[in-house]
Structure 1
C-alpha cells in the first residue's frame, strides 16, 4: 500500500525545502512528504567561501548534467545547464549572490497575475521572514555598504551577510569607479538596485547556507524526506492528482495537494510526461492528454553573461599568488578546519558590481520595437538595463601568469531577456533528458543590450584610469570594442547564469500561456500546484536564489491560509 500524506512536495531544492519547512511547522502539523531525486550533499567544496564557484565545476555528482540545444546565434554552441541535484537543489551549486531585485519586478508581477500580495511592500515583508541578515560586517567599510536594519529580517533561517573583510583591490577598484561618476548604492536589497554595491551573499561565518541546511537540519516528526530517486509519474483519480510514483516504483498518496518544486526544467518535464501541456506535443509522443495547457515548457527566459579578464600587476591584488601556492592553500585549509577563518574565508567572499541603466535606451530602435507595456516597465527608475560584477574567476581556465602578476575579471550580464526559449520532451521515456532551447540572442533587443553591456563593463572597469595603470594584458575579451568586435566575442563566449524561469508561468486565466493561477494551482488539474522559478511571469533583476525562496514562502502562505493550517 502507498504511504499517505497531506502534502507531497516533489523537489527538495531552494523553494521546496522552504515550503516543506513552512508547511510541516504550521500549527496543525499536517503530514508532509518531501521527495528529492538526489541525496544529502556531503564532501568537498560545499561550504568554504573560497569554493564559491567550485561545486559547479568539480562536483558533477551534484548536477543533472543538462545541456541546451545548439544555439544558432552562438556559433551553434550547446550551453551546459547546471542544476543542483540533492537536498538544497541549486542552493548547493549557485554562486551564492543574494539579491532581491527591483521593487518594479514585483509590482509588475502583481499586475500580471492579479494579486496584490506580490507588490513590493508585501514581498519585502516576505523576504524579512526568510532572512537572518548580518549587519555587523558593513561597519568595517561604511563608505561602501550600509544596509538599513528596518528593511531586513534578523529572525529567519537563511543566513545573509556581507564579508567581514574585503580582499585586496576591492575597495580601491570600487572607489575608482565612484570617482569617475558611478553612483554608490549602499543597499542593493532596498527595492532599488541601481548603482554599484557590495553584494550580500548566502554565506556566513559558518560557510554556505543552502536551503537544506537552513530548513531541514531538525525536521519535525510530521515531515518525511525521501531521497535518491526522481518522481516521474503523477497518480490520477480522473483529472485530479492524488499522489506520486518514484522511478523505483515507490508510491505515495496526498490527501490535499501535490506541489511540484522541480525547477524550470524538471517541473515542465514532469507535467508533460503526465499529459499536462500542449496537446499536439503530447500526442506526438503518444502521451494521453490530461489537460491541454499550451504554456507548459514555453516562455523560458534567463539571464545571459560573459566573463572579461585582464592580467594586472600583483600590486593590485594577490589572488593568483594565493590560488597557485600549495603552501598558502594548505595553511588556509588548516585555518578553515580549525575555526573557519583564514584565506578560505577571505578569497571569493566578496562580489561587487552594479545594476545600471543604459543611457539613451529609449532612443534605440530595438527598444522602440518592444511592446508598450514592456517599454514602460524598462523605463521605470528602479528597473536596470544590465548588470556587471567584478572579482570573479580567472579566464581562460588554466591560464599561467608570470611572477608579479595577478588578474582582474568582470562579468557583463543581460537583464530582461526578450527571447523565449522552451523545454520539450525528447520522448515519452522519463529517463531521457528534456530538450532545452534557450533562444539566446535571438531577439534584436537582447543582442543590442548584451553588446552594450560588454562595452560598458569593459570601459567602466578596465579603461578606468586608476585601474588601467595596473593592467598589463588582455586575457579574455573582445579584440576591439567595435560592434563587430563585440559581436564576434559574444558568439564565442555568451553563456548562462542558470536563472531560467517562466516555463509553467503564473498568470490570469485569460492569458493563453499561463499555467498556474495566483494560488499556484495548475489550471484544470485538481490537487496539483507548482511552486518554483518556473512560475515567474517576470525575469527578476537579481540572482534568482532569493526569488526561489520567496516563491516557497508565498506558496506556503497560500496553502496555510486556504487549508487553515
Structure 2
C-alpha cells in the first residue's frame, strides 16, 4: 500500500500548503500527500516587487484559465477569473497585500457557523502563528505606519513586510489626504482597519513569499507531493471518501481524510463531478447523486473594483520613466539577480490606501432593504463600506503618455457585496469549461455603494485641493462625478479583485446552503473535508490571501486536535 496516506490534500495552493505543513509537522508525524494540478513555478518575474502585477497577466501557464459567462450588469463583458495553477496556488499570482480584515468579520463568522473558535480572539492568535512580520521599514515613516511588535507574529513561515523605503510620490499624497481630514491607521492588522495607511505585503528582502516558498521547504519525509496531477475523481465506498484518482491514472488511499483545497472555483467542480451538490443539476447531467447538497457552487461572492487613473507631471514619481526605458529595466534586472537590490526592489513595493465608511450609509434605501442581521453587521464600528488604494499600476496597461508625464492610479473597491453568483458544470466531462456566473452588480446595494466609493475615491485622491493642481488630465475614470456618468462607467469598468469565496459555505446543520460544518467536514460524506476560501460564510474585509492562510491554519488546528496528532 505504497500510496496510502493518513491525509490527502487536493490542491497545493495558499491554504493547502499551510495545512500540509502543519499536519506533517504534528508530533505524531502523520503521512500527508499534496496533489497539485500544476507544477513547480519558475521564472524571472515571480519574485521582485517590480513584478507585483506581472505574473497574473503574462503567465497563462500558471493560471487555470477560468472565464465567466457574459455578465448582464457589465454590458455583457466576460471576466477572466485568474486562479493560480502550481505549488503555491494564487499566492504565485496575487498582488501580495496581507491584511487580516475586521475583527467583526470573524465574530460574525462565529455567529453564522455556531462555533466560538472562529471568534476574533482565537483568529488573531492563528494569524500571529502564521506570520513573520518585518515592520522595521516603518521606522522611516512612523507617522504613516507604526505596528506594535507585541501584536504580531515573528516566528511564522509567511514573511510579511512593510516597505523598507516608500516610493517617490507616496508621502506627499498621503500627507495631502491627512491634511484634509483622513485619519492615519498606523497598523491595519489590529482588527480595526478603518482609516488610511500603508499596506503590509508578502514581500521581503528576498522577494515574494508564496505559500510554497513558505511551507514546502526542507520537506519532512512524511510529506509527499504529486505535481501535474489534476484530481477529478474521489474514490468512494458508499458515502465515505477513501481516496483519490488523478486525471493521469495515479491513485492514493486515505487512512483518515481527503481534504479539498481547490479554491472557490475548482472545489465545487470536484464536488459536483463526484455527485455531491444540487440533486436536480446533477441528475440533469447524468451524474449519480451521492449527497444532495444544494449549496455546492452557489453563494459565490467576491470583491469588485474599478481602476481610476490620471496623468501627472513627471516630477511626481519615477514610475513611467522607468517602465518605458528598456536600458533602465535591464540594469535593474541585473541588480535584482545579483543581490536583490535596485529599482526592482523599490518600484511597486508600496501600496497604500484606506478602509472607510460611507457617510450616511444607514439612510440609503438600499441599506434599509437589507436583512436586519446584515444591517447590524455593516453598522459595526470596525466594518468598512469600501476600500481604496493608490499608487497602483498604470491603467489601462499600455497607455502611452507624453514626455514629461507620469501617472497616478487609484482603485475603488466594494466591500461586503450582496450580489451572488454561481459555479456549475456544463456536462459530466471534467475537461469541459465551467459555467461561472459572477453576478456582479445584480444587487441594488452593490450598485449604490460602488457608485459612492468611486466618487469618494476620486474626490479624496484626484480632487484633493493639494493634489488637483498637479493633475494634467484624466486617463481612466467616469466622464464626471454625476450619478449617471459613474453608473455608465461602472458597467464598462467594474472588474474582479479575485477574492471569490462561499461556493461550499461553512454553516450550521440545517442551513439549506451550508456545505461543511465548522470543522470543515462535508455534510453527509465521511472522510471528506474542504479547506479553502470556498467555505467562507462571508467575505472578509481585506485582501483574502490572509484569509486563505487562516483557513489552512484553522483546518490544521482542528484536525490535530480531533485526531490527537
Q: Same fold (TM over 0.5)?
A: yes
Verify the 8 A CA contact 1:502 1:533 in the aligned structure 2: yes
Aligned residues: 565
Instruction: Identify the residue that residue 94 of structure 1 maps to in structure 2.
Output: 94
* CA deviation string 1:427-463 (max 9, x = no partner): 1000112111000000000000010010100010000
Q: Mind listing any 5+ residue stretches in structure 2 that lack a counterpart?
A: none
CA distance in structure 1 between the partners assigned to 2:506 and 2:171 by the alignment: 41
Aligned-pair CA distance for 1:155 = 0.1
How big is each residue's C-alpha offset from its partner over 1:275-308, in whole Å with a ceiling of 9 and x where there is no partner?
0000000000000000000000001000000100
After TM superposition, give the deviation of residue 217 of structure 1 in Å.
1.4
C-alpha separation between the residues in 2 aligned to 1:2 and 1:70?
Answer: 46
What displacement does 1:478 show?
Answer: 0.2
Tell me the distance in 2 between the aligned counterparts of 1:356 and 1:19: 33
Within the alignment, does 1:172 sit opposite 2:172 as a pair? Answer: yes
Superposition map of 1:187-198 within 5 A: 187-198=187-198
CA distance in 2, matches of 1:265, 1:218: 30
Indicate the residue corresponding to 1:437 in structure 2: 437
Per-residue CA deviation, residues 134-178 of structure 1 (Å, 9 max, x unaligned), is: 021110100100011111100000000000001111011000000
Q: CA deviation at 1:505?
A: 0.4
Residue 316 of structure 2 aligns to a residue in which SS? coil
Distance in 2 of aligned mates of 1:528 and 1:402:
58
- Residue 42 of structure 1 is matched in structure 2 by 42
Aligned ranges for residues 250-265 of structure 1 at < 5 Å?
A: 250-265=250-265
Q: What's 1:289 paired with?
A: 289
- Which residue of structure 1 aligns with residue 155 of structure 2? 155
CA distance in 2 between counterparts of 1:93 and 1:174 reads 27
In structure 2, the residue matched to 1:345 is 345
Equivalent residue for 1:315?
Answer: 315
Tell me the alpha carbon deviations over residues 52-79 of structure 1, each in whole angstroms, 9 at most, x when there is no partner. Answer: 0000011111001111011000000000
CA distance, structure 2, for counterparts of residue 488 and residue 286 of structure 1: 42
Residue equivalent to 1:248: 248
What SS class does the counterpart of residue 427 from structure 1 fall into? coil
Partners of 1:295 and 1:402 in 2: CA distance: 52
- Does the residue aligned with 2:315 lie in a helix, a strand or coil? coil
Measure, in 2, the Cα distance between the counterparts of 1:57 and 1:265: 19
Q: Distance in 1 between matches of 2:518 and 2:201?
A: 29
Trace 1:462-501 onto structure 2 (pairs within 5 A): 462-501=462-501
The answer for the alignment partner of 2:57 in structure 1 is 57
Task: Write the deviation string for residues 343-368 of structure 1: whole angstroms up to 9, x where unpaired.
Answer: 00000001000000000000000000
**Over the residues paired in the alignment, what is the CA RMSD in angstroms?**
0.7
Aligned to 1:455, the other structure's residue is in SS state: helix
Separation (CA, whole Å) in 1 of partners of 2:369 and 2:504: 26
**SS of the counterpart of 1:310?**
strand
CA deviation string 1:388-413 (max 9, x = no partner): 00011112221111111000000000
- Of 393-402 and 349-358, more deviation after overlay is shown by 393-402
| 1:555 pairs with 2:550 | no
Q: CA deviation at 1:2?
A: 6.8
The corresponding residue for 2:237 is: 237
Distance in 2, matches of 1:254 and 1:334, equals 47
Equivalent in the alignment of 1:71:
71
Alignment of 1:299-378 (within 5 A): 299-378=299-378
SS in structure 2 opposite 1:315?
helix
Kept in 2: contact 1:2–1:250 (CA 8 A): no
Contact preservation (8 Å) 1:36, 1:226: yes
Shift of 1:324: 0.7
Distance 2:164 2:3 in 1: 47
Asked if 2 retains the 8 angstrom alpha-carbon contact of 1:2 and 1:253, the reply is: no
Q: Distance in 2 between matches of 1:273 and 1:160?
A: 37
Taking the aligned partners of 2:523 and 2:89, their CA distance within structure 1 comes to 26
Deviation readout 1:537-563 (Å, 9 max, x if unpaired): 010000000000000000000000000
Corresponding residue number in structure 2 for 1:397: 397
On the 8 A contact 1:231/1:244 being kept in 2, the answer is yes
Deviation at 1:470, TM superposition (A): 1.2
Please list the CA deviations of residues 89-124 of structure 1 after superposition, one character each: whole Å capped at 9, or x if unmatched: 000000000000000000000011111111111100
Looking at structure 2, the residues matched to 404 and 477 of structure 1 have their Cα atoms a distance apart, in angstroms, of 22
Question: Distance in 1 between the 2:249 and 2:471 partners?
Answer: 59
Cα deviation for residue 44 of structure 1 reads 2.3
CA distance in 2, matches of 1:399, 1:103: 40
- The unaligned stretches of length 5 or more in structure 1 are none
Write the mapping of 1:92-131 to structure 2, written as runs, cut at 5 A. Answer: 92-131=92-131
Corresponding residue SS for 2:472: strand
The CA distance in 2 between the partners of 1:266 and 1:304, in whole Å, is: 20
Q: How far apart, in 2, do the equivalents of 1:395 and 1:214 lie?
A: 31
Match of 1:416 in 2: 416
1:505 and 1:515 in contact (8 A); partners too: yes
**1:41 and 1:368 mapped to 2: Cα distance?**
47
SS state at 2:8 partner: strand
Q: Following TM superposition, by how much is the alpha carbon of 1:16 offset from its aligned partner in structure 2, in angstroms?
A: 0.1
How far is the alpha carbon of 1:229 from its aligned partner? 1.9
- CA positional deviation for 1:327: 1.9
After the TM superposition, which segments of 4 or more aligned residues of structure 1 sit over 2 Å from their partners? Answer: none
Partner-residue secondary structure (3-state), 2:408? strand
Q: Which whole-Å deviations, capped at 9, do the CAs of 1:488-545 have from their partners, x for residues lacking one?
A: 1000010000000000000000211000001100000000000000000010000000
- Judged with a 3 Å threshold, the aligned counterparts in structure 2 of structure 1 residues 2 and 274 are, in CA distance, closer, same or farther, namely farther
Contact preservation (8 Å) 1:502, 1:536? yes
- Matching of residue 267 in structure 1 with residue 267 in structure 2: yes
The answer (yes or no) to whether the contact 1:68–1:79 under 8 Å persists in 2 is yes
